[in-house]
Amino acid sequence: MLDKIKATLENYRPHIADTNQSTKKAAVAVILRPAPGETLDSTEILFIKRAERDGDPWSGHMAFPGGHMEPDDSDLKESAIRETKEETQADINIIQPYTLFSLTHISQLHYFYIAELTKPKFGPTPESSEVALFTEEEIPWDEIAFPTVYKTLKHFFEDSKTNTFEYKEEEIKLG
């Protein structure tokens, strides 16, 4: 499955969204671990359970590892790799960009990258109380933290049915 994703997305050049200096960018990794045979039913996705923090409405919810780009990050891929290491202890290889969400109501862009585990080592950190792999059937859908994570998962499983993984951009407007 990872080879099909790579082949489909390798020639895509993401549109650079219009931003201003106040727009915050977040990079998120959708980390896949295909099981032998690489069927959709056996592909696992790495999730974190966010650590409990006062004032964080998403505390204790499930998400992909990711976070805001920091000044020392050279690009968003580096942000996704850094955030993944900080939240899961995992080493990953970014394959390709997959989804981009523009959240104009809060001046944020969420970039999601398809990635693969390079080693089988991962675990919780101070930023995550749990780290685990889930198949589609095992995902705790009612515990997903962010609408952008939910939408990316839905896109991924829909694309998996046809084995066509096309890059997607979407604007989300609330309020």
Pairing of strands 44-50, 108-117: unpaired
Tokens 């999601």 belong to which residue?
112
User: Which tokens in the block code for residue 139?
Assistant: 């995902």
The 8-class DSSP code of residue 40 comes to G
Residue 22: half-sphere exposure toward Cβ, Cα within 13 Å: 5
- What domain range is 114 assigned to? 2-13+21-172
Tokens 């009612």 belong to which residue?
142
> The whole model's pTM is what?
0.83
Percent share of the chain, pLDDT over 70: 81
Q: What confidence tens digit (pLDDT) does each residue in 141-150 have? A: 999 988 999 9
| C-alpha separations of 122 from 33, 66, 88, 129, 145 in Å | 12, 15, 5, 12, 20
Is residue 11 within 8 Å of 167, Cβ to Cβ?
A: no
Q: From start to end of 70-107, where are the E strands? A: 92-103
Q: How many domains does the chain have?
A: 1
Cα distance from N-terminal residue to C-terminal residue, the chain: 38
Task: Please give the residue that has the higher pLDDT: either 54 or 29.
Answer: 29
pLDDT (average), residues 29-39: 73
pLDDT (average), residues 103-118: 91
Spatial distance between the Cα atoms of 67 and 54, rounded to a whole number of angstroms? 18
CATH at residue 29 = 3.90.79.10
pLDDT (average), residues 80-108: 93
**pLDDT for the residue 58:** 63
pLDDT (average), residues 74-100: 94
